[in-house]
Amino acid sequence: MMNKKTDVLIIGAGLSGLLAAAKAVESGKGVTVAAKGMGSLSLSSGCIDLWGYDIDDPQRVCQNPLAQIARLNEVNPEHPYTKVADVLEESLRYFQGLTERYGCPYRDNGGANWLLPTALGTFRPSFLAPPSMALRDLDKAKRIVIVGYEELKDFYPEVMASNLARNGNLPESVKLTVVKLRSAWKKLYATTLAHRLEQAEGIREAVEQIKAHIVDGTVVLFPPVLGERLDIDVTGQLAKALGAPVYEVANIPPALPGQRLQQLLLKHLRNAGVDVIIGCTFTGAKVEGNRCLQVTAEGAGKTFTFSAKTYILATGAFVGGGLDSRIGEAREVIFNLPVRTAEKWASGEFLSMNGHGFNRFGIAVNDRLQPLDREGRVCLENVRITGANLAGANGPIEKCGNGIAVASGYKAGKLAGEVAQ
């Protein structure tokens, strides 16, 4: 059986795993990322949500996410942010620096949340947004042109326009115009359209049909389809040709901005010399005392093992596949770590405003991100836990999924880099 040795093994290629790798490799150590698939980044909006709503009034958008997170020590000390508070701001700056280096500088809104328009005509709070989405002052526009495609089934510009007009966030003087473009396809998918728009012809077709609707003070909103590739600036090309600012709005998966961020991080890891292996599923671990010696994986019809000094478990809880469940029981699939659960798994209402109990399930850790047993003792001292695997967050409700992934990935990578050779 083949055994691969590395200093730091990161299991999982979602946002937390990729960021852990980026940080760990700076220490000069050998770093390997191995995963069965690519994680939820390519499904997410591509924005980094940090903290969406006010702790005291969950109906109100939170104005200062960092100040709210600082309060978690007192109101929810088991929340993952309390374990990464020491690096939170540092990790966000690091992430912004990395994205800037690859020509896609994620923008903050001066410490406040952005309020980004969505395909449903609502506004979603987010802390960092790619340049194609970081839209400020929509209410100051004179005209908003919402562009859709007849054949695109994932985006209904009329619905967006009518909800924007109804929800009271825009002054009545703002004129909303829906422009439905025609394409040569019977049925259009976001990725097909993104390819088309990466070509001069695709831009020309779109500009020809939109141009007549542009007046002074127009903002043009597209679904998130403005190119698949990181190195082609479709948004910039459209804005230049139309003579008006162009933005993408958040929509249902697949979300091209998330895929572009994934490409950016993978490109960086390749440049930095990280070994990335996709297509291997980890199934078990060899443990002695409270150290992991080896993990076992299967891929391409073979079984192989990996040995490392530090293992970073970035397997994404239930969605990513790192946690599994049967009725009344949840388990971590590789190390068999204890999973912190709650008596009530689910709310009676599917779209409950409080979310579901299982959102908070995960692995309890100390402030070095080492997993803890039910008595609060470290169970594996050379394993660190990141991202959605961490117990205690209610990601969909608190709007904090990618924020926790960035901070915990960064911290785990940093700690792994400090381990003696």
Please give the residue ranges that form the binding site for ligand FAD (CB under 6 A): 11-17, 35-41, 43-45, 47-49, 253, 281-282, 314-316, 319-322, 333-334, 387-388, 395, 401-402, 405
Interhelix angle for 401-418 vs 88-101, to 10°? 90
Burial tier of 200 (Cβ tally within 10 Å: 0-12, 13-18, 19+)? exposed
CB of 406 to ligand FAD, least distance (A): 9
Pick the closest to residue 415 from 50, 19, 64, 12 (CA basis).
19
CB of 340 to ligand FAD, least distance (A): 16
CB of 259 to ligand FAD, least distance (A): 12
CB of 261 to ligand FAD, least distance (A): 10
Q: Are 382 and 310 in contact (CB under 8 A)?
A: yes
Q: Which is nearer to ligand FAD, 202 or 401 (CB)?
A: 401
Q: Which is nearer to ligand FAD, 21 or 197 (CB)?
A: 21
Burial tier of 343 (Cβ tally within 10 Å: 0-12, 13-18, 19+)? exposed
Handedness of CA 397, 403, 405, 407 (dihedral sign): negative
Q: Which is nearer to ligand FAD, 37 or 355 (CB)?
A: 37
CB of 322 to ligand FAD, least distance (A): 5
CB of 116 to ligand FAD, least distance (A): 10
Q: What is the DSSP secondary-structure string of 366-379?
A: -TT--BB-TTS-BS
DSSP H or E run through 32: strand 31-35
118 C-beta neighbours (distance < 10 Å), count: 16
Q: Which two tokens stand for residue 176?
A: 């909303």
CB of 44 to ligand FAD, least distance (A): 3
Q: Which is nearer to ligand FAD, 96 or 162 (CB)?
A: 96
Q: Which is nearer to ligand FAD, 122 or 281 (CB)?
A: 281
Phi then psi for residue 280, to 5 deg, are -120, 130
Q: Report cis status (omega within 30 of 0) of the bond before 254.
A: yes
CB of 374 to ligand FAD, least distance (A): 23
CB of 337 to ligand FAD, least distance (A): 13
Q: What is the DSSP secondary-structure string of 203-230?
A: HHHHHHHHGGG--TTEEEEE-S-S-S-T
The structure tokens 């850790």 sit at: 365
The structure tokens 């970081």 sit at: 134
Q: Which is nearer to ligand FAD, 188 or 295 (CB)?
A: 295
The C-alpha atoms of residue 306 and residue 10 are separated, in whole angstroms, by 11
349 C-beta neighbours (distance < 10 Å), count: 9
DSSP H or E run through 33: strand 31-35
Q: Which is nearer to ligand FAD, 129 or 244 (CB)?
A: 129
The C-alpha atoms of residue 121 and residue 117 are separated, in whole angstroms, by 6
Three-state DSSP at 94 gives helix
CB of 97 to ligand FAD, least distance (A): 19
Q: Which is nearer to ligand FAD, 218 or 259 (CB)?
A: 259
Handedness of CA 363, 404, 251, 186 (dihedral sign): negative
CB of 80 to ligand FAD, least distance (A): 10
Q: Which is nearer to ligand FAD, 13 or 138 (CB)?
A: 13
Q: Which is nearer to ligand FAD, 12 or 371 (CB)?
A: 12
Q: Which is nearer to ligand FAD, 41 or 203 (CB)?
A: 41
DSSP H or E run through 4: strand 2-5
